[in-house]
Amino acid sequence: MSIKILGTGSALPVRRVMNEEIVRMVDTSDEWIRERTGIGGRHVSVGETAASLAADACSRALEDAGKTAEEVELLLVATCSPDEVAPCTACRVQDRIGAGNAVAFDLNAACAGFLFALHTAWAYVEAGIYQNALIAGSEVLSKLVDWEDRGTCILFGDGAGAVYVEKCQEGGILGFVQHADGKKGGVLAGGGRQLVSPWAGRQDFRRFLQMDGREVFAFAVRQVPLNVEEALSGAGLTVGDVDLFVLHQANRRIIEGVAKRLGAELSRFPMNLEHVGNTSSAAIPLLLDELNRQGRLKRGMRLVLSGFGAGLTCGACVMQW
């Protein structure tokens, strides 16, 4: 028994911010950003929220699967940029789309969040608790990014992606791995708030995301191939058996490095970061939705999904579409 993706959806804020606009804000250039990351533009919220984007993506995933919101039993939202601490984004989404019969909660594993949520849904279904799940990755990172820091503001974008999954007897998820290394938490951290209680006085935490880009880069190029191979070997498959590698869209050079280490042609690594940037937990489901709507995903194809991010967290999932 496993779970299979039966529908995908996505949503992006209306406002596009091209590199040329960032060049007017920080000391950088379109050439540098394109060469070092592969990113040409990103979408930035001008009012859209993590909940509104997730709800739109979820509605589209349900429509694609031919299901109604009332049928959903488990609703998970992966996000590290929720609109508010409580209630969770998933409950806001549940209300917006009318998924009144679902249990709903959030999960934060940064850029690996969607994968971890997918694995969580698998575990619930495998345990016989639920038969289906609606899973979104949704981020409005533009509110956590320091728009004066050229090391981070060039990278991130806002958006959401979602999938509807259902219990299946054949195919679906064939194997997965997930890891976390809290000792490396400081490498990519921040987006905190303030302590303002009478006892603490006023203490500021890191307001914006701060990142040691080189460390994250090295971690990703080293760890993603290991995760992919570990997940494939658990499923009794090899790199040669995979049709498409749907990786977290952080940096084109990371994806190229992973492809090289795995000995796989880059043509098997679809990318959309050129127009959406790094959308953290939304990146994998956003790309899946693009591929699905382009008709590039055929039933029976073997896919590997792999993500990594703050935590540090990372994981990989092998599935038969």
Q: How many residues bind ligand UT7 (CB under 6 A)?
A: 21
Q: Write the interaction track for ligand UT7 spanning residues 85-124; mark x where CB under 6 A is met and - where it is not.
A: --------------------------x-------------
Q: Is 32 in the site for ligand UT7 (CB under 6 A)?
A: yes
Q: Is 3 in the site for ligand UT7 (CB under 6 A)?
A: no
Stretch that binds ligand UT7, among 121-129, 148-156, 159-167, 176-184 (CB under 6 A): 148-156
Cα separation, 317 vs 159, in Å, equals: 22
Enumerate residues 190-229 that contact ligand UT7 by CB under 6 A.
Answer: 211, 213-214, 216-217, 220
Nearest distance, CB of residue 308 and ligand UT7, angstroms: 6
Cα separation, 219 vs 309, in Å, equals: 9
Asked whether the CA dihedral 77, 103, 118, 10 is positive or negative, the reply is: negative
Residue whose CB is less far from ligand UT7, 218 or 301: 218
- Backbone φ, ψ for residue 182 (5° rounding): -65, -20
Q: How many CA atoms lie within 13 A of 136 on its CB side?
A: 38
- Give residue 277's identity as a one-letter amino acid code: G
Cα separation, 65 vs 63, in Å, equals: 5
- Residue sitting closest to ligand UT7 (CB): 213
Show Cβ contacts of residue 256 under 8 Å, excluding neighbours closer than 6 positions: 266
Cα separation, 73 vs 70, in Å, equals: 8
Q: Is 188 in the site for ligand UT7 (CB under 6 A)?
A: yes
Count of all residues that appear for the chain in the document? 321
Residue 272: active-site member: no
Q: Is 28 in the site for ligand UT7 (CB under 6 A)?
A: yes
Which residues contact ligand UT7 (rule: CB under 6 A)?
28, 32, 36-37, 111, 150-151, 154-155, 188, 211, 213-214, 216-217, 220, 250-251, 278, 280, 309
Q: Which residues are part of the catalytic machinery? A: 111, 248, 278
